[in-house]
């Protein structure tokens, strides 16, 4: 009985932790003192969304959602690299 009910609770608390992480990272994204802090915050947000997709796959027992995390990993990598190059090569005034 107790064993049957512990898993939904774990899923719910994992969601709670991940969503609070999302909120905290968004704070840094908005108030970050430099542009680079914002880029790192974006990076962390995408990692959190990857985790949420994986937890959702566990909750629904549907492995299709795992492929979301592959796609997110690819897109974020390219985005961060593009930001880094852009900020590095930007012409000076």
Partner 1 sequence: MNLLVSIILIIGAAFTTIAAIGLIRFPDFFTRMHAATKAGAFGGIIILLLCAFCFASLKITLIVLVNIIFFYFTAPVAAHMIARSAYINRVKQWEGSKADELKGKIALKQHHKD
Q: Where along the sequence are the contacts to partner 1 (CB under 8 A)?
A: 3-4, 6-7, 9-11, 13-14, 17-18, 20-22, 24-25, 27-28, 33-37, 39-41, 43-44, 47-48, 50-51, 54-55, 57-58, 61, 63, 66-67, 69-70, 73-74, 76-77, 80-81, 83-85, 87-88, 92-93
Q: Report d(CA 79, CA 92) in Å as an integer.
A: 22
Work out how close the CB of 19 gets to partner 1 at its nearest, in angstroms, rounded to a whole number.
9
Nearest alpha carbon to residue 84 among 21, 18, 25, 38 = 38
Q: Report d(CA 60, CA 65) in Å as an integer.
A: 9
Work out how close the CB of 87 gets to partner 1 at its nearest, in angstroms, rounded to a whole number.
5
What tokens does 77 get? 């990598």
């Amino acid at each position: 009985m107790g064993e049957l009910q512990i898993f939904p609770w774990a899923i719910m608390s994992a969601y709670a932790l991940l969503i609070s992480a999302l909120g905290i990272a968004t704070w840094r994204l908005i108030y970050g003192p430099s542009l680079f802090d914002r880029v790192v915050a974006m990076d962390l947000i995408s990692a959190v969304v990857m985790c949420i997709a994986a937890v959702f796959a566990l909750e629904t027992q549907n492995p299709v959602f795992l492929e979301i995390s592959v796609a997110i990993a690819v897109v974020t990598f390219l985005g961060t690299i593009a930001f880094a190059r852009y900020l590095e090569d930007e012409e000076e005034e």
